[in-house]
Amino acid sequence: MSWKTWLARAAVAGGMALAAGAATAQETIKVGILHSLSGTMAISETTLKDAMLMLIEEQNRKGGLLGKKLEAVVVDPASNWPLFAEKARELIAKDKVTAVFGCWTSVSRKSVLPVFKELNSVLFYPVQYEGEESERNVFYTGAAPNQQAIPAVDYLMKEEKVERWVLEGTDYVYPRTTNKILEAYLKSKGVKAEDISINYTPFGQSDWQSRVSSIKSFGSAGKKTAVVSTVNGDANVPFYKELANQGVKATDIPVVAFSVGEEELAGIDTKPLVGHLAAWNYFMSIDTPANKDFIAKWHAFTKNPKRVTNDPMEAHYIGFNMWVKAVEKAGTTDPDKVIDALPGTKQANLTGGTSEMLPNHHITKPVFIGEIKDNGQFDVVWKTEGLIPGEAWSKQLDGSKDLEADWVKLKCGNYNTKTGKCGGA
C-alpha cells in the first residue's frame, strides 16, 4: 500500500470516527447539576440533586425532549465557592451540558456568574437570595427579598406586634445584603436604630451559647423582640439546639428563618422549637392535588416515605418545567434562543397557582409564613392573596431604587430609569 493510499484511508477512518463521536454526543441532551454533596451546605443541597434526578427521569418517561433522552451530569463543588466556578466550567466546556441547575448560597452563584457569561450557558438558581442582580444567563426561581424577607417582617410587625429586631446571619453576601435591605425597611417604618441588632457568624458555626445569651439579653428590654434569621447550612442545627437549651420559646422571642425548611429540621428534635417560624413560597404540608402527587412521586423515587420536600425543590420543579417548555418552543437547546423563549413561560406550581417567568428573569410566587410543628412540618399561619412578582432591585436601597431589569424590551439587567442608560450609569 502506498503512503498516499494509507493517508487517504486514515483520513476516511478518522472522519468516520469523528462522525460517530458527534452522533454519540447528540444522542442525549445533557443537563448539569451543580449542588454541594459534601461540606457545610450538603445538608441543604443534596436533596436538590436528588430532586433534579427525579425530574429528569420523569421527563424521560414522557419521551425526553426534542426526541432525545435527557442525561444528568452531576458534579460536587463541595461547599467550596471557587470550586463552583471550576465545576461550572467543566460542565459547560467539557461535558457540553445545555443548561445547569444549581448553587444554593449567593457566594457560590456569584462565583459561577463570569463562567456562564463567558461560555454563554444557562443557570437556573432555585434558592431565595438578596436580589440586587439580574443576569441574562441566569433565571432566578427562588424568592427575591420582596417575596420572602419583606413579607416576613410585615407579618411580625402586624400579627406579632414585634418592636425590637435581631437580624442574625451567616457571614456572606446574602445575609449582609438582605439585612441591609431589612434595616432600611425597618427604619422606614419608624423602628429606631437602638431597636435593631445585627450579627454575623461564620459558615459551620457550632458554638452558639454566647450569641443566644446576647439575643436573650437584647430581648429583655420590655419590647416584643423577634429574630430574623439568615443563618445558612448546618449551623442551623446547633443554633436551634442552643435556643432550646436556653429556653428561648417562640412565645417569648419568635425566630423567623429564611433558610430553614423541612430538610434542615429533619436533623434535629423539633419539639422545643414548636411555634418558631419560617417564610417560604412552598411548604410540604400545603394540601393541593399537585403537591400530593409530587410528594408521592418523590417517595417512590427515593424509595423512602420519610424523605421530605421543601421550597427549593419546588423552585427546581418550576424552573425545570419552564426550561422544557422554552426548549420545545424554541425547537432547540441553543442558549440564546432558549433565553429569549423563557420570559412569559408559565408553569403551575405545587401550591395551587401558576408561576410566570418575568422579563427580569425572576418569577411570580406566593408567600407563606409557617409555624414549626413537633413533627418537623409547618403549619401555614399566613399567606399572600395572590402571587407576588419577583423584584430584582430593592426599593429600599438608594443605589437600587432607580434600577429596572428587563431582558425583553430593554435588553438590560440594570437600566437606570433616571439617566435612561443601561449599567446603572
Tens digit of each residue's pLDDT (9 = 90 or more) over 323-376:
999 999 999 999 999 999 999 999 999 999 999 999 999 999 999 999 999 999
Q: From CA 5, how far away is CA 358, in angstroms rounded?
A: 60
Q: Which residues of the chain have pLDDT under 70?
A: 1-26, 424-425
CATH architecture under which domain 147-280 falls: 3-Layer(aba) Sandwich (3.40)
pLDDT value, residue 108? 97
Q: Which residues 6+ apart lie within 8 Å of 103 measured at CB?
A: 34, 35, 84, 109, 112, 123, 125, 127
Q: Is 347 helix (H, G, I), strand (E, B) or coil?
A: strand
Q: Are 407 and 136 in contact (CB under 8 A)?
A: yes
CATH no. of 24-144+288-366: 3.40.50.2300
370: its cell numbers: 409557617
pLDDT value, residue 24? 44
Q: Are 285 and 378 in contact (CB under 8 A)?
A: yes
Q: From CA 109, how far away is CA 113, in angstroms rounded?
A: 6
Q: Are 136 and 118 in contact (CB under 8 A)?
A: no
Domain boundaries, the chain: 24-144+288-366, 147-280
| One fold for 24-144+288-366 and 147-280 | yes
pLDDT value, residue 20? 41
Q: From CA 356, how far away is CA 372, in angstroms rounded?
A: 29
Query: What sign for the dihedral angle of Cα 128, 130, 136, 137?
Result: negative
